[in-house]
Structure 1
């Protein structure tokens, strides 16, 4: 389901945009710094969540629309699909049921586009898209049937404990060995081997076959509930860090530079606060209508951290205020009350 980018919460838009700036020009960026966030956003769902569960941002990989394709031999369309993608994606979770950035790629087409192409090939139309596993997505028709998919459908698991954490560390082992000790290698014995189980009693689980997508949707929450709780538990520390940065600010070492993404290219940026005197702002040239600035923090030894705020006003009317604090390698972490750095040191 396509939505306007303005409908996406600002903090989620920022999370996706900042990911691109963080990896830009590094070994994790196969585009050589050409990637840019587009305004194309697709709402993704999960069978156990009523509202939007994820936002899929399309990423222009800067490869242009003028690429030409030729086929040799039998003209297999699969050869074209094997070529580098023109569009990548970033999938951000709407809340704490998954990691803040749940899935991203700068060398594969967005799952929504893969599914749309599969649906079109068989004359079907996608109404909604569901993320059902780490790499599994289902496109659903308005009538509740599968229009297309990428990845395998997960099979419901029966017999899982309600709380997987309670089973952590309870290891069991099974050993199959001869029922009697042989005299030597020439006497292997013909007895039926015995099975010996040690440790915790193993959980009896099994995979259940499904009849249809409707069957999986109906049983999804119950069948995968313990695993989904475990996923949320594993993602919780990342969300805690996101919350701390939003409230206390992001630390920048003196003498270093921090790239900060802009949500729109047309913006006015300024810094204020105690640490503003240390900061020089540089507008960066970025591809495809995206925007970014560099915050250069002067190389100065600080007796305590100093805070500053970055204020961004976009022509569209959107405004952001991002907190930061500057700190040097010699700064004690316990000199300033209510310190953002204290939270990260604990």
Structure 2
């Protein structure tokens, strides 16, 4: 399941065994045996609420299906967690006066002494209506969503670098590329002659083995994938030796920047 923006990792969820979430939310929850019966629910939008929790709504904004448990909402969770980093709050219970023995310990009262910074105390919100849940979701889960976006930022930067310059394969190594389904593949470009291509099954993927080199400069090539339904994708790669001069790599990087500006 791909993300719709940088708020999550590019591939937010995937599985080789279970059906996609868009089908899971349409499974009839009354049927506990597999495979579950899929009903036509008129799904217009799919929401990922938690790691394994999904909800579907129709065009009218009504909840029409779900997969996994819808998370509870908590109030009082701070959006800025940095100021609480390293903060320790402790509590100590002790009787107000000392006792010689434990004969009266059963009914003894204790006083609670709390020290440390004041910390927020989250409270559970009783929200049973889907529209109200959506209205409160972004605020309640704000701290966690902000942290998720920060964690995913580096992956998005890496994806952008691959999109612009391609993915490097060192000489003499093998690189596997996952496929969405059975497909026909070919490699094109100046580096294609130095690549061995092998299709693998279950799951479908293609293995690219780079030649031993050495390569005086990065040898670019593209993997062209054609699926049976007519869809096609073109993935950029380049072969590089570990002793390829760094100035040659820099020239390629500058050339890519110029191409993007044009």
TM range (shorter): 0.7 to 0.9
Which residue does the alignment assign to 2:235?
Answer: 322
Query: Higher strand share goes to which structure?
Result: 1
- Residue of 105, 114, 118 corresponding to 1:196: 114
The answer on 1:153 being equivalent to 2:73 is no
Task: Extract structure 1 runs of 4+ deviating beyond 6 A.
Answer: 119-124
Provide the rounded CA distance (Å) in 1 between the counterparts of 2:111 and 2:247: 65
Q: Displacement of 1:195 after TM fit? A: 2.4
Which residue does the alignment assign to 2:259?
Answer: none
Q: Displacement of 1:262 after TM fit? A: 5.3
Provide the rounded CA distance (Å) in 2 between the counterparts of 1:306 and 1:232: 33
Which residue does the alignment assign to 1:220?
Answer: 137
Instruction: Give me the CA root mean square deviation.
Output: 3.6
Provide the rounded CA distance (Å) in 2 between the counterparts of 1:118 and 1:98: 28
State the TM-score, normalizing by the size of structure 2: 0.74
Which residue does the alignment assign to 1:117?
Answer: 27
Residues 126-178 of structure 1: per-residue CA shift (max 9 Å, x gap) = 423322222111233455443332222222222232333x3352423222232
8 Å CA contact retained: 2:195, 2:208: yes
Provide the rounded CA distance (Å) in 2 between the counterparts of 1:326 and 1:188: 80
Q: Displacement of 1:329 after TM fit? A: 4.2
Provide the rounded CA distance (Å) in 1 between the counterparts of 2:181 and 2:65: 33
8 Å CA contact retained: 2:186, 2:224: yes
Structure 1: which 5+ residue stretches go unaligned? 1-90, 341-346
The answer on 1:103 being equivalent to 2:19 is no
Residues 182-211 of structure 1: per-residue CA shift (max 9 Å, x gap) = 68875896341322222x321232221103
Provide the rounded CA distance (Å) in 2 between the counterparts of 1:124 and 1:312: 36
- Residue of 215, 221, 228 corresponding to 1:309: 221
8 Å CA contact retained: 1:175, 1:196: yes
The answer on 1:284 being equivalent to 2:199 is yes
| Change over 3 Å in CA distance of 1:333–1:172 after alignment to 2 | farther
8 Å CA contact retained: 2:218, 2:244: no
Q: Displacement of 1:298 after TM fit? A: 1.4
| Change over 3 Å in CA distance of 1:307–1:154 after alignment to 2 | same
Larger radius of gyration: 2
Q: Displacement of 1:318 after TM fit? A: 5.6
8 Å CA contact retained: 2:77, 2:122: yes
Q: Secondary structure at the match of 1:336?
A: helix
Q: Displacement of 1:287 after TM fit? A: 5.8
The answer on 1:132 being equivalent to 2:132 is no
Provide the rounded CA distance (Å) in 2 between the counterparts of 1:204 and 1:308: 56
Which residue does the alignment assign to 2:88?
Answer: 172
Q: Secondary structure at the match of 1:171?
A: coil
Which residue does the alignment assign to 2:4?
Answer: 94
- Residue of 134, 147, 155 corresponding to 1:238: 155
Residues 221-241 of structure 1: per-residue CA shift (max 9 Å, x gap) = 232233222221111111111
| Change over 3 Å in CA distance of 1:191–1:264 after alignment to 2 | closer
8 Å CA contact retained: 1:118, 1:149: no
| Change over 3 Å in CA distance of 1:326–1:214 after alignment to 2 | same
Provide the rounded CA distance (Å) in 2 between the counterparts of 1:212 and 1:320: 42
